[in-house]
């Protein structure tokens, strides 16, 4: 053993809440006690994805994966593994289906089936340490862009990569960059702006948080590239206050990047100046909407305004502004280094590349996964996700958060991509994927989302401000047993109005969860109204049914 | 020149400048798309969503007030989808609304009500929770009923952009939001100027003036012990006709007097007489300051909205304000001294009513300084709107009344007093006298016409070898702009007129309100017609300067002595208070 | 007519919190759009954002008070009510909701006898609901300060609260 081994300890927010810091402390102590400091280097990394297994440690380069660690386990590992070279079997991952132990991270189906592009560095490097980032080709894309590529070439590369916005809208990134680049700068204007949207408001999605905690430099690098391409000199990251660790790491990384010369004046001697500032939200989902976000950065109420004009023409302080999501940006450096053609090989027609999904709810392996666009729900749930706990039946997957809808058993084999999902009335959105088993009530979930939306509506326009309130009231009546036959028609009617007439994306998509559950589980609604029964037994004011719930039981 | 674009609305070709919204383009060809939140040039938020139309190729309906037309688009404004959606939006608004039309101030002038009528809403279709928000009726001028607020934000924008007092913003978020002062403070805890422009813009009955004065007037009229007199502000004669269906700019002085006599007022007087006195006093004050070279520029002080604005926002200017009270108060003071003496009536029995274009005058009449010998100078203040209602209650149709004359001794005014209500009028009226006093010559018509304006004007005059600069700003936003330049030392003036309302009192917060979507804009436009009517009345007058007015000469001869004399100072001159912007203690609304 | 009185300006003079606020405003005054940043920091200093603090910020930053309050009342993380020593954030995001977050909230409300946004009589706790802390894999979660408790069950809340003095 002449080569130093790395002990990768996940220090993502989830693992820290599960006690990763304690584990790290004990680990340091043990390494010192056994005089192994020269042989092992402890590296705190960002999220590895399997957050429910935390705290986690990967012994690299072999990739031995220990999970759910307790302080006393570390003593074991140090004595047996580090000193004697024996893997501690009891702490290895056990496949929930086969029951077999899998020692190496890359052999675990949850990781094996993933294609990590946006998450390429998460869980592998120290998030802030710039040398770690440089070791994985960090800032090479920026060097290349600044010294070898014209802005048009960068745009061309992104266009052929087929990358589309990962923030929910799915707008082609290359075209957005091109429009913003071409957007005229008036004489009196100082600059254009680049904004990274890290508001991540969709409850149940946390990929942006993980990227910023685990690999902030890649986002910074992408922002500088974007600035160079569109002709901006100032960037902002708008991040929600609920992510203190991400804010801390991002700010540290920005400092490191400035010191290294990747931010600030005359970046890499190219004559190009660019800097990034962090702005913190204050608890408003609607601030993820780009015009609301702009108002919030300007220090005002986060209320959207009508589009057009789009931010590309009139954005922050009325100057042309490029807004991209964290995950979108994280893809950029690789696309530059490996080429748009390389990226477009992943995924399927019209939806290229990979997408990160946040798996949660009734599923064995919760956490973050990155898969090629077009992967089916079945693969995600039953292969990567390890199936549904207790072998219960799959009932529905909530996708796209409060703007999205439900996918049911009949959608299990559809490819998950922008166009296919649009046809089902759902959407990929930011990639939150909440799995629900047979014991969940769809009316209750629809109410949950509408409650969320109603709470988060900014109140500017009538249909969303009052309309969602009225829809919510109808749902509440249904759940409390006061539903009337006409209610479903009323819901659909109001839903259509709100979608058609609201000012911003929040209202335009607000009725989706209701309309989508109504479409797929109408009988469940009817049971609530006509028989005063909650088939899943969730709604407390209603009786439970003896009927078998509609769900695909026992798929393995 | 702007690029032209052409497109289709309801199969009709339209050609408009690039940047024109569908709403504006439609108006050009006579298609009236409903609106609630839109206010031309002031408010384009796209918030209410009643101006929906269909644009071919757009998946959703679009808000025509903010949607800029593009070459070749096809717009439909009357498809069943559009009509149904508009109606549904109205129904949603009504579902969170008190629907108290019968007892609502805005009954029959409410834009929401008239839309509900036009769209044949026959039922409050959606039922559910309504916002519960207390009423604010603590201020002397404004009442707010936020439950009637439909969140159009017109008041917010007007107060912020036009008045620049920024009293309102949105409170709370989502369903609970409403427009109001911060932390839903009462208006009295704010630097509100009581100009009432927000009242003129509100499409509903959420904002209105304090209303108890009418009742006091009826009671006083019925009280045999009271000698009830009324003064009519200059601008009323060219606006009250509108409340009786007469065209904007109708001059109805004689009919107004007839109506008031019919109502039983013991004497009907002209506030323009008070204005003439103000000219005498303020002119003398200016000449005095000019000679001393002190406290220049002098600012006019006859507008209580502007006075409050200065008291809240520009403490450093207070010494520059003329110390003369407004015509309303000067008149009130005279009514309880000069008039009482002359008529040998116990002044305590005199009940002095004023009828004003203005809601700030209600606040002014209640200022503690505004007393004479322990009595209120003015006992009740009616807005033009309230006066119109009183006349209607009395069963009178203004149109049909014969012309009658004001009473003596405070009914005869010069043309100078009459134009106080119109753009630049106060300055012009004062200059006519000042110029003559200083030069011994009459001012030329063209000279003073140069200062007539509904927003901002300046005039340079050489008087006795000295170049004097005069400025006029109407609308507090214009005033703020001017003041800030003065304070920065960019411009210098000797005398400045400031009136709070756009266009001056003819555009005052107490003037008639139209049941029309462009009501505020109409008001400002109407200002010109209304103001021109006053200038016409001026031209018809035998005497056009205050100092030539025989009634004024008599007043000074028999009673006051000199302008700025001892009695004048006691009766007409006042002091100002430095007011904090926001008091640290607040009144609690229930 | 009831009048609610608040500290007079002379209370402000020499008050350490206000001098910290002064420094803060000095730092951010010239920076465009920094109202929200200042409010965040002010809330840290004062624990909440009472009316007089908002007026103070408004006057010092040259922003109309209604605009400041408009911002304060828009964002859910700003509070005008005093908060307890510890704020218990119950996540009501989707992942936590489907894992039974509302039962935890009910339990906490019962245990502490307060509604969300209110402070307990001993001034120890305030309950707030939040929409996803990004720890969805550990759902349902509650957060107290920097601590996140994962896979919480209603019966665990008592023990958790006992960790806080
Ligand atoms: C109500 C609403 C919330 C949104 N929230 C987010 C968000 O939290 N994060 C995000 O990146 N985009 C969000 N978006 C989408 C953004 O408006 C915008 O389209 C996106 O940031 C553009 O970046 P992209 O092209 O890289 O996806 C939201 C949109 C709406 C309508
Ligand atoms: S749709 Fe909702 S969130 Fe969007 S502007 Fe309208 S009220 Fe605000
Ligand atoms: S505001 Fe309009 S709709 Fe509302 S009660 Fe008054 S008149 Fe009726
Ligand atoms: S309009 Fe209708 S509700 Fe109103 S008073 Fe007349 S009949 Fe009654
Ligand atoms: S009265 Fe004038 S100053 Fe007061 S709120 Fe209305 S518009 Fe603003
Ligand atoms: S008070 Fe009137 S003008 Fe102001 S927002 Fe409400 S409805 Fe509109
Ligand atoms: S202009 Fe205003 S203050 Fe002057 S007389 Fe007319 S109403 Fe009175
Ligand atoms: S301009 Fe006239 S109506 Fe307006 S506040 Fe001043 S005095 Fe009143
Ligand atoms: S935080 Fe450790 S795996 Fe996600
Ligand atoms: S949205 Fe166009 S008038 Fe209100
Ligand atoms: S939903 Fe609770 S942490 Fe994400």
Please count the CA atoms within 13 angstroms of the CA of A257 that sit on its side-chain side. Answer: 33
Chain C residues with CB under 8 Å of B160 CB are: 64
* Mean pLDDT score, A446-455: 96
Percent of chain A with pLDDT over 70: 97
pLDDT score at B590: 85
How far from chain centre, in Å, is Cα B365? 16
Average pLDDT over residues B567-589: 93
Note the helical H segments in A278-396: 290-297, 326-338, 340-344, 377-378
Contact C76, C69 (CB under 8 A): no
β-pairing, B227-232 vs B267-270, is parallel
Residue B455 is predicted with a pLDDT of: 80
pLDDT digits (tens, 9 = 90+) for B145-202: 999 999 999 999 999 999 999 999 999 999 999 999 999 999 999 999 999 999 999 9
- In a domain, residue A301? The reply is yes
Domain final residue pick, A42, A72, A105:
A105
pLDDT of residue C4: 65
Of the three residues A89, A105, A121, the one that is the final residue of a domain is A105
> Strand A275-280 relative to strand A351-352: parallel, antiparallel, unpaired?
unpaired
Q: How confident is the model at residue C7 (pLDDT cuts 50, 70, 90)?
A: low
What does the CA dihedral B72, B76, B81, B84 come to, rounded to 10 degrees?
140
Q: How far is the CA of B140 from the centre of ligand 10 (A)?
A: 33
Could you tell me if A357 and A384 lie in one domain?
A: yes
Q: What are phi and psi of B409, to 5 degrees?
A: -100, 5
Within this chain, do residues A478 and A540 fall inside the same structural domain, yes or no?
yes
- Residues A135-146, mean pLDDT to the nearest whole number: 98
Please provide the distance, in angstroms rounded to a whole number, between the alpha carbons at the two ends of chain C.
41
Q: What is the CATH number of the domain that holds A394?
A: 3.10.20.600
Rounded Cα–Cα distance for residues A140 and A369 (Å): 26
Average pLDDT over residues A167-190: 88
Q: Is the pLDDT of residue A383 over 90?
A: yes
Indicate if the pLDDT at residue A553 is higher than 50.
Answer: no
Q: Are residues A176 and A277 in the same domain?
A: yes
Ligand 3 atom closest to Cα of residue B113? 3
| Average pLDDT of chain B to the nearest whole number | 95
* C64 close to B (CB below 8 A): yes
Query: What total number of domains does chain A contain?
Result: 4
A541 and A490 in one domain?
yes
Q: What pLDDT, on the 0 to 100 scale, is given for residue B522?
A: 67
Is B213-572 CATH 3.40.50.1780? yes
Return the residue whose CA atom lies nearest to atom 6 of ligand 8: B303
| CATH code 3.40.50.1780 region(s) in chain B | 213-572
Instruction: Say if residue A452 is in the same domain as residue A324.
Output: no
Q: What is the mean pLDDT of residues A393-414?
A: 95
Q: Do A186 and A254 belong to one domain?
A: yes
- Answer whether residue A555 shows pLDDT above 50: no
Interface of C with B in 94-113 (CB under 8 A): none
Which of A13, A16, A17 is the best residue to mutate to test the C interface, defined by the most C CB atoms within 10 Å of its own CB?
A: A17
Q: What is the pLDDT of residues C74-133, one digit of tens each?
A: 999 999 999 999 999 999 999 999 999 999 999 999 999 999 999 999 999 999 999 899
Contacts for A287 with CB less than 8 Å, ≥ 6 apart: A199, A201, A238, A240, A281, A293, A296, A302
What is the band of B526 on the pLDDT scale with cuts at 50, 70, 90? low
pLDDT tens, residue by residue, A25-51:
999 999 999 999 999 999 999 999 999
* A232 assigned to some structural domain: yes
Q: Give ranges for CATH 3.10.20.740 in chain B.
A: 1-129
Q: What pLDDT is attached to residue A469?
A: 98
Q: Which of B171, B175, B187, B582 is best to mutate for the C interface (most C CBs within 10 A)?
A: B582
Q: Domain with A473 in it: what CATH number?
A: 1.20.1440.230
List phi, psi (to 5°) of B470: -120, 140
Same domain flag for A186 and A280: yes
β-bridge mates for residue B21, sequence order: B68
Dihedrals φ, ψ of A545, to 5°?
-95, 165
Per-residue pLDDT of B387-408, as tens digits, reads: 999 999 999 999 999 999 999 9
Whether residue A88 is found in the same domain as residue A178? no
Using only the alpha carbons of chain C, give its radius of gyration. Answer: 18
**A9: containing domain:** 5-105
Task: Decide if C149 touches A, using CB distance below 8 A.
Answer: yes
User: How confident is the prediction for chain C on average, in pLDDT?
Assistant: 92
- A554 pLDDT band (50/70/90 cuts)? very low
The CATH number given to whatever domain includes residue A14 is: 3.40.30.10
In this prediction, residue B303 has a pLDDT band, given cuts at 50, 70 and 90, of very high
* Cβ of residue A503 lying under 6 Å from some atom of ligand 2: yes
Confidence band, pLDDT 50/70/90 cuts, at residue A98: confident
Average pLDDT, stretch B495-506? 93
- Give A301's contacts in chain C (Cβ within 8 Å): 70-71, 74
Considering only residues B326 and B424, tell me which one the structure prediction assigns the higher pLDDT.
B326
Listing DSSP states for B85-114 in one string gives HHHHHHHHHHHTS---GGG-TTTTT-HHHH
Q: Is the pLDDT of residue A189 over 70?
A: no
Per-residue pLDDT at A256 exceeds 60: yes
Which residues of chain C make contact with A436, given a CB cutoff of 8 A?
Answer: 98
Lowest mean per-residue pLDDT among A353-357, B520-524, C115-119: B520-524
Same domain? A463 vs A510: yes
C-alpha to C-alpha distances, C7 to C1, C12, C16, C55, nearest whole angstrom: 19, 8, 14, 12
Q: Is the pLDDT assigned to residue A541 strictly greater than 80?
A: yes
Is residue A545's pLDDT more than 90? Answer: no
CATH number for the domain including A265?
3.40.50.11540
User: Has domain B1-129 been given CATH number 3.10.20.740?
Assistant: yes
Does position B483 have pLDDT exceeding 50, yes or no? yes
Distance CA A119, CA A132 (A): 15
Q: Do A242 and C130 touch (CB under 8 A)?
A: yes
Q: Which residues of B are catalytic?
A: 282, 285, 302, 322, 361, 364, 369, 505
Here the tokens at position A215 are: 């690999």
- Domain identity same for A46 and A64: yes
The confidence score (pLDDT) of residue A7 equals 96
Determine contact: C67 vs chain B, CB below 8 A: yes
Question: What is the pLDDT confidence band of residue B551, given thresholds at 50, 70 and 90?
Answer: very high
Atom of ligand 9 nearest to the CA of A10: 2
Q: Test B169 with C1 for CB contact under 8 angstroms.
A: no
Is residue B268 over pLDDT 50? yes
Nearest partner of C76 among A240, B435, B46, A183, judged by Cα = A240
Q: What is the DSSP letter of B39?
A: B
Q: Does A461 touch chain B (CB under 8 A)?
A: yes
Whether residues A144 and A289 share a domain: the answer is: yes
Pocket test for ligand 2, best of A503, A505, A509, A510 (most atoms within 8 A of CB): A503
| Residue of C1, C9, C51 with shortest CB distance to B138 | C1
Query: Considering only CA atoms, which of A517, A510, A453 is closest in space to residue A479?
Result: A517
C54 contacts on B by Cβ (under 8 Å): 182-183
Q: Which of A189-193, B316-320, B322-326 has the lowest mean pLDDT?
A: A189-193
Encode pLDDT of A208-235 as tens digits.
Answer: 999 999 999 999 999 999 999 999 999 9
Is A363 found in the same domain as A258?
A: no
């Amino acid at each position: 053993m002449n080569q130093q081994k790395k002990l990768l300890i996940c220090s993502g927010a989830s693992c820290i809440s599960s006690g990763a810091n304690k584990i790290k402390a004990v680990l340091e102590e043990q390494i010192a006690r056994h005089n192994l400091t020269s042989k092992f280097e402890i590296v705190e990394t960002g999220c590895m994805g399997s957050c429910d297994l935390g705290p986690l440690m990967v012994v690299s380069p072999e990739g031995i994966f220990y999970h759910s660690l307790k302080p006393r386990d570390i003593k074991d590992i140090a004595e047996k593994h580090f000193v004697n070279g024996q893997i501690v079997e009891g702490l290895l991952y056990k496949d929930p289906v086969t029951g077999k132990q899998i020692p190496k991270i890359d052999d675990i189906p949850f990781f094996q089936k993933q294609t990590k592009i946006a998450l390429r560095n998460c869980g592998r490097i120290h998030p802030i340490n710039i040398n770690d980032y440089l070791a994985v080709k960090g800032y090479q894309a920026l060097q290349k862009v600044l010294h070898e590529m014209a802005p048009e070439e960068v745009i061309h590369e992104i266009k052929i990569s087929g990358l589309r916005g990962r923030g929910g809208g799915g707008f082609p990134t290359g075209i957005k960059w091109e429009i913003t680049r071409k957007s005229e700068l008036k004489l009196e204007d100082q600059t254009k702006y680049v904004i990274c949207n890290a508001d991540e408001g969709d409850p149940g999605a946390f990929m942006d948080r993980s990227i910023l905690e685990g690999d902030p430099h890649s986002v910074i690098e992408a922002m500088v590239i974007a600035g160079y391409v569109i002709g901006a000199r100032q960037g902002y990251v708008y991040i929600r206050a609920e992510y203190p660790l991400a804010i801390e790491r991002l700010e540290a990384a920005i400092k490191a990047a400035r010191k290294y010369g990747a931010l600030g004046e005359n970046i890499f001697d190219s004559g190009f100046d660019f800097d990034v500032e962090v702005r913190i939200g204050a608890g408003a989902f609607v601030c993820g909407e780009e015009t609301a976000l702009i108002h919030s950065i300007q220090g005002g109420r986060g209320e959207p305004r009508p589009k057009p004009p789009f931010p590309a023409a009139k954005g922050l302080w009325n100057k042309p502004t490029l807004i991209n999501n964290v995950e979108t940006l994280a893809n950029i450096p690789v696309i530059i280094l490996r080429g748009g053609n390389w990226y477009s090989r992943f995924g399927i027609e019209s939806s290229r590349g990979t997408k990160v999904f946040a798996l949660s709810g009734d599923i064995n392996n919760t956490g973050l996964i990155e898969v090629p666009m077009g992967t089916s729900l079945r693969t995600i749930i039953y292969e990567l996700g390890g199936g549904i706990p207790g072998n219960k039946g799959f009932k529905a997957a909530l996708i796209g958060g409060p703007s999205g809808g439900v996918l049911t058993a009949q959608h299990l084999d559809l490819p998950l991509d922008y166009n296919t999902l649009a046809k089902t009335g759902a959407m990929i959105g930011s990639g939150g994927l909440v799995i629900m088993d047979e014991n969940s009530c769809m009316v209750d979930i629809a109410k949950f989302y509408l409650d969320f939306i109603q709470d988060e509506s900014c109140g500017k326009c009538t249909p969303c401000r009052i309309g969602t309130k009225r829809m919510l009231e109808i749902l509440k009546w249904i759940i409390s047993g006061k539903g009337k036959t006409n209610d479903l028609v009323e819901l659909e009617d109001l839903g259509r109005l709100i979608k058609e007439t609201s000012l911003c994306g929040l209202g335009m998509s607000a009725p989706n969860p209701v309309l989508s559950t109504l479409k797929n589980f109408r009988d469940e609604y009817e049971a609530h109204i006509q028989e005063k029964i909650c088939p899943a037994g969730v709604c407390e004011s209603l009786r439970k049914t003896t009927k078998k719930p509609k769900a695909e039981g026992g798929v393995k | 020149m702007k690029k032209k674009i052409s497109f289709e609305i309801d199969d009709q070709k339209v050609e408009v400048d690039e940047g024109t919204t569908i709403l504006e383009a439609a108006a050009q060809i006579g298609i009236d798309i409903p609106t609630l939140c839109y206010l031309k040039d002031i408010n384009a938020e796209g918030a209410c969503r009643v101006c929906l139309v269909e644009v071919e190729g757009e998946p959703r309906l679009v808000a025509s007030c903010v949607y800029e037309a593009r070459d070749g688009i096809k717009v439909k404004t009357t498809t069943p989808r559009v009509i149904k959606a508009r109606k549904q939006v109205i129904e949603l608004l009504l579902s969170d609304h008190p629907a108290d039309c019968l007892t609502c101030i805005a009954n029959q002038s409410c834009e929401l009500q008239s839309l509900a009528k036009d769209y044949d809403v026959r039922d409050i279709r959606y039922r559910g929770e309504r916002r519960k928000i207390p009423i604010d009726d603590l201020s002397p001028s404004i009442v707010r009923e936020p439950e009637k607020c439909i969140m159009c934000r017109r008041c917010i924008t007007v107060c912020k952009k036009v008045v620049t007092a920024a009293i309102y913003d949105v409170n709370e978020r989502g369903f609970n939001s409403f427009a109001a002062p911060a932390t839903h403070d009462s208006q009295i805890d704010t630097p509100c100027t009581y100009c009432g422009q927000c009242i003129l813009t509100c499409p509903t009955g959420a904002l209105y003036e304090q209303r108890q004065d009418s009742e006091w007037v009826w009671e006083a009229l019925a009280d045999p012990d009271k000698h009830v007199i009324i003064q009519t502000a200059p601008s009323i004669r060219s606006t009250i006709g509108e409340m009786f269906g007469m065209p904007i700019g109708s001059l109805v002085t004689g009919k107004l007097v007839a109506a008031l006599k019919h109502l039983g007022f013991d004497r009907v007087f002209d506030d323009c007489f008070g204005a003439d006195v103000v000219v005498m006093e303020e002119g003398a004050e200016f000449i005095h300051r000019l000679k001393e070279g002190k406290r220049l520029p002098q600012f006019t002080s006859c507008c209580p909205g502007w006075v409050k604005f200065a008291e809240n926002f520009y403490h450093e200017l207070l010494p520059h304000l003329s110390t003369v009270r407004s015509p309303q108060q000067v008149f009130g003071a005279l009514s309880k001294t000069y008039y009482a003496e002359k008529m040998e009536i116990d002044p305590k029995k005199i009940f002095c009513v004023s009828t004003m274009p203005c809601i700030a005058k209600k606040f002014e009449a209640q200022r503690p300084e505004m007393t004479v010998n322990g009595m209120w100078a003015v006992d009740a203040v009616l807005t033009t709107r309230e006066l119109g209602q009183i006349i209607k209650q009395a069963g009178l149709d203004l149109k049909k009344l014969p012309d009658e004359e004001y009473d003596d001794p405070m009914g005869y005014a010069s043309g100078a007093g009459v134009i106080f209500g119109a753009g630049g009028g106060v300055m012009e009226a004062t200059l006519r006298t000042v110029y003559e006093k200083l030069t011994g010559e009459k001012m030329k018509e063209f000279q003073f016409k140069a200062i007539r304006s509904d927003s901002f004007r300046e005039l340079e005059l050489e008087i006795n070898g000295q170049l004097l600069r005069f400025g006029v700003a109407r609308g507090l936003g214009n005033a703020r702009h001017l003041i800030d330049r003065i304070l920065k030392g960019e411009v210098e003036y000797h005398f400045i007129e400031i009136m709070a309302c756009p266009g001056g009192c003819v555009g005052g917060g107490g003037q008639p309100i139209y049941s029309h979507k462009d009501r505020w804009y109409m008001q400002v436009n109407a200002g010109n017609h209304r103001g021109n009517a006053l200038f016409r009345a001026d031209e018809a007058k035998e005497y056009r300067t205050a100092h030539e007015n025989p009634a004024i000469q008599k007043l000074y001869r028999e009673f006051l002595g000199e302008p700025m004399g001892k009695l004048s100072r006691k009766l007409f001159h006042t002091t100002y208070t430095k007011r904090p912007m926001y008091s640290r203690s607040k009144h609690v609304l229930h | 007519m009831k009048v609610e009185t608040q500290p007079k300006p002379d209370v402000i003079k020499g008050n350490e919190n206000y001098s910290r606020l002064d420094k803060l405003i000095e730092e951010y005054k010239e920076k465009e759009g920094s109202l929200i940043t200042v409010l965040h920091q002010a809330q840290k200093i004062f624990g909440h954002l009472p009316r007089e603090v908002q007026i103070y910020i408004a006057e010092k930053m040259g922003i109309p008070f209604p605009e400041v309050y408009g911002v304060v009342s828009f964002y859910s993380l700003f509070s005008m009510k005093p908060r307890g020593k510890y704020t218990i954030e119950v996540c009501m995001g989707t992942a936590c909701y489907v894992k039974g977050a509302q039962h935890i909230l009910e339990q906490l409300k019962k245990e502490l006898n307060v509604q969300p946004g209110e402070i307990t009589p001993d001034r120890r706790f305030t309950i707030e609901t939040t929409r996803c802390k990004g720890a969805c894999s550990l759902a349902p979660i509650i957060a107290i300060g920097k601590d996140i408790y994962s896979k919480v069950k209603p019966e665990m809340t008592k023990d958790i609260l006992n960790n806080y003095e």
